[in-house]
Structure 1
């Protein structure tokens, strides 16, 4: 307490000293400037009188006068003719100096007035006090200008302020000694209060003060006891808030790190450590010590330097090659504050988002290409028909057949895109019921019968009657159509088979063929949109490139899985497992 009182006294004394020095400096500087201004005017008048006494008819060596007088009076002397040309200067070579006709003080003196101005000298490079007055000699009309550097004024003012400061310091020392004696006398009754406050600061909130005084000290003791009770309650609330805050941090899906102005971590959650692959505590450590990522450093330093929100992406070079997004934003105590308390880093794993964005871009690009191909073909043949080919019935019919094929291909592509979009936009299938799988497959084989007969392929349908599954009939039917159509399409001769079985876990579907097979390097990408093993062959067979992608999304809709086994020249096998209990109405 005594230290605080002494600090207050010292602060008051310091403020008083500063105010006195500022006032002394301002008034002293102003007074000295006025004195020097009057002195330069008097000097100019005396110098003009001296010049007028020069014999008439003889040329006056103004430069010699300027040098002599400047040396005697410790000023700068400049003589300017009525055209503004400098004819003599004590500090610079007058022959290379600019025309001074438009200098403020020179312009006024040319009009016959004596003036003084404070202005920065471009020639010398320091501020000057200029006093200019008209020169009216027998052989010369112009301006006499006396200049004094303001450094001289400041030095004089400083000398005066120095003496003022000595007096203030002596008074301050006396005031400090008196303040020390007075505060020490009044501090002894507060010792008990200080001891009690120390015990409370150590966590003993049950401590009480018993001070038998009816004056302000007694009131203070009572207020202190009341404060202890409230403090105990506030600490309980604070601990509760801290627990809630820690629960919120641990529940965040994004990582959070807060660093102070010295780049030391003072707040971090477990998710940040998990995303960045950091072990151990981050608190009270330099972020450069616990995190090794230049992008995070760059985002953090740029946010601190520019005092603004910064975001950037970086790659975590681990076995998964994860992409993370780093947000950095200054931490202010309140919105109107100009100084920050540190910087907040929010770290988000955007690997999946980046993959989805890449898939979206690829999908748009592929859709554009796939739509453009049939449209270009249709427009080309229509244009040919319009320019005369329609008169040839044989050519016209052939072109119309091609247009019909391309139109059908376009229609199939749009239907597949709509189907894929519908599947992706839902996480649960609708209109589900218990359906007989054999009945669904029989309908699919009836639809594909023309293709089967055309290629003379043997279909092996090994499914028992009464095998049911709870599903959306149209969705499962579409799955079978796409898989069987693919098997028939890429089997030139031989067999296409389908078997189904069920157990306690779910339904197993096995569709195989003896077709051309798939090279092993292509299997991981089979279910990508528009991915084709042989692009030219697939287009010639009428494929849209979305069939297997639709199959995969239907299987994922039912929380199932699909595996592919294939050998070139021997055929392919698609094995699908659909679990029970994952689809609800």
Structure 2
């Protein structure tokens, strides 16, 4: 019985005694009045208590609903974020249960059954199973390289802590194919560049050592050596110049100075200085410039593209005609350089734009050049948002086709 009820009962007893003494009421009647009054007080108190309890319950229920709604919203937001991550991702709780994984990670399961998964019992790829075990058991940040279906992945394992205690771990897998491919290409490029630079340097070194000998006294040989040294220096200069050009074009956003130009006029200007070389080899040049003349492009870089393709055509042709052709459609501008030279096999077409790649090594070296011309051509066309394709047949000839947006 609470304090308020005891106080009310004590007050009723005093009132009862007062009524008995003042009005000489029978004792049984006083007791009856006392019971009725106390019952009323008790009932009123219980009603108030029930109302208070009901109100408290309603407040608590509202808080629980609000909390549940907030929790559901936060969970939904978390799942949305996890689903939008483009890498396979898994989240384990402090008991080792896999509580969240995204669609990318689902691809590594052997089934899509909705079952409870943990660090010991799951149907992920065996390589990922080992990563999950390591992440949960070791409870530390770590990285591990794994291979699944001939694809290399870098697994990142990050522990999650709460108030200084381990509360789970996050696992993220990154496809390393592009990174490793880029790394291999970089290593090959460095090796190829070193080889290309080493050859003329070796020639220059060997001939200069002969020239500075005290017993060397042959004017004709000296002149021949100096001419060869000059030729190798020019080759070195060409390689370095093209390497610098490639480095500028290899950045994510190469700088282009685009203007609307008369491409037919540009093509004619590129061809003029090449005519002595074309005539010297007994070749013919055919300009077939049709369609619209106006093109929005970087004039300097497109001049370089045409020059490289035409020089390449002259280099690999001993006879026949070289054709420079343009034509347009509603949306696109086409440029073609066609020769009737030695051509090359189909299996070499996929590598023709690689840096330092040469179809005919001995002929290419004899003709000179850096071996970077076609790589520069492709980089320039890529920077313009265009496409370049090659079609070649051995001992028949080669056609390079460029497609650019007319804008």
SS at match of 2:153: strand
Correspondence 1:417 to 2:269: no
Q: Is the 8 A contact 1:257 1:265 kept in 2?
A: yes
Relative to 1, partners in 2 of residues 1:388 and 1:445: Cα closer, same or farther, differing over 3 Å? farther
Relative to 1, partners in 2 of residues 1:503 and 1:452: Cα closer, same or farther, differing over 3 Å? same
In the alignment, what sits opposite 1:456? 282
Select the residue among 68, 71, 76 that pairs with 1:243: 76
1:253-287: CA deviations, max 9, x gaps?
2221123467542101123335x487736762357
In the alignment, what sits opposite 2:63? 230
In the alignment, what sits opposite 2:145? 313
In the alignment, what sits opposite 1:370? 196
SS at match of 1:380: helix
Select the residue among 351, 355, 375 that pairs with 1:525: 351
Alignment of structure 1 residues 128-527 onto 2, 5 Å: 212=47, 224-260=57-93, 264-273=97-106, 276=108, 280=112, 284-286=116-118, 289-294=122-127, 296-317=128-149, 321-334=150-163, 336-337=164-165, 340-388=166-214, 391-427=217-253, 429-464=255-290, 467-527=293-353
Residue 235 of structure 1: CA displacement?
Answer: 3.0
CA distance in 2, matches of 1:382, 1:391: 13
Q: Is the 8 A contact 1:436 1:467 kept in 2?
A: yes
CA distance in 2, matches of 1:498, 1:211: 103
Unaligned runs of 5+ in 2: 1-44
Residue 578 of structure 1: CA displacement?
Answer: 1.1
SS at match of 1:290: coil
Q: Is the 8 A contact 1:256 1:271 kept in 2?
A: yes
Residue 225 of structure 1: CA displacement?
Answer: 4.2
Relative to 1, partners in 2 of residues 1:263 and 1:232: Cα closer, same or farther, differing over 3 Å? closer
Higher mean alpha-carbon deviation, 492-501 vs 281-290, is at 281-290
Residue 347 of structure 1: CA displacement?
Answer: 1.3
Query: Could you tell me the TM-score, scaled by structure 1's length?
Result: 0.57
| Rg comparison, structure with higher value | 1
CA distance in 1, matches of 2:92, 2:71: 22
CA distance in 2, matches of 1:426, 1:329: 31
CA distance in 1, matches of 2:110, 2:314: 53
Say which structure, 1 or 2, has more relative contact order (CA 8 Å, 6+ apart). Answer: 2
1:217-243: CA deviations, max 9, x gaps?
987766554443333333333333223
Residue 306 of structure 1: CA displacement?
Answer: 3.1
Q: Is the 8 A contact 2:122 2:129 kept in 1?
A: no
Q: Is the 8 A contact 1:282 1:290 kept in 2?
A: no
Q: Is the 8 A contact 1:322 1:351 kept in 2?
A: yes
In the alignment, what sits opposite 1:72? none
Q: Is the 8 A contact 1:268 1:282 kept in 2?
A: no
1:121-146: CA deviations, max 9, x gaps?
xxxxxxxxxxxxxxxxxxxxxxxxxx
CA distance in 2, matches of 1:344, 1:237: 23
RMSD in angstroms over aligned alpha carbons?
A: 2.7
In the alignment, what sits opposite 1:146? none
CA distance in 2, matches of 1:441, 1:490: 20
Residue 402 of structure 1: CA displacement?
Answer: 0.9
CA distance in 1, matches of 2:57, 2:330: 73
Residue 495 of structure 1: CA displacement?
Answer: 1.2
CA distance in 1, matches of 2:331, 2:161: 56
- How many residues matched? 362
Higher mean alpha-carbon deviation, 255-264 vs 432-441, is at 255-264
Residue 357 of structure 1: CA displacement?
Answer: 1.4
SS at match of 2:401: strand
Relative to 1, partners in 2 of residues 1:369 and 1:458: Cα closer, same or farther, differing over 3 Å? same
SS at match of 2:343: coil
Residue 324 of structure 1: CA displacement?
Answer: 2.4
Relative to 1, partners in 2 of residues 1:460 and 1:283: Cα closer, same or farther, differing over 3 Å? farther
Q: Is the 8 A contact 1:463 1:500 kept in 2?
A: yes
Relative to 1, partners in 2 of residues 1:227 and 1:547: Cα closer, same or farther, differing over 3 Å? same
CA distance in 1, matches of 2:294, 2:206: 50
SS at match of 2:310: helix
1:364-417: CA deviations, max 9, x gaps?
111111112212221222222222377432222111111111111111111111
CA distance in 2, matches of 1:441, 1:277: 57
1:288-308: CA deviations, max 9, x gaps?
6432242x2333333334332
Relative to 1, partners in 2 of residues 1:504 and 1:429: Cα closer, same or farther, differing over 3 Å? farther
Relative to 1, partners in 2 of residues 1:236 and 1:389: Cα closer, same or farther, differing over 3 Å? farther
SS at match of 1:448: helix
Select the residue among 523, 547, 552 that pairs with 2:378: 552
Query: Could you tell me the TM-score, scaled by structure 2's length?
Result: 0.80
Higher mean alpha-carbon deviation, 487-496 vs 306-315, is at 306-315
CA distance in 2, matches of 1:393, 1:457: 36
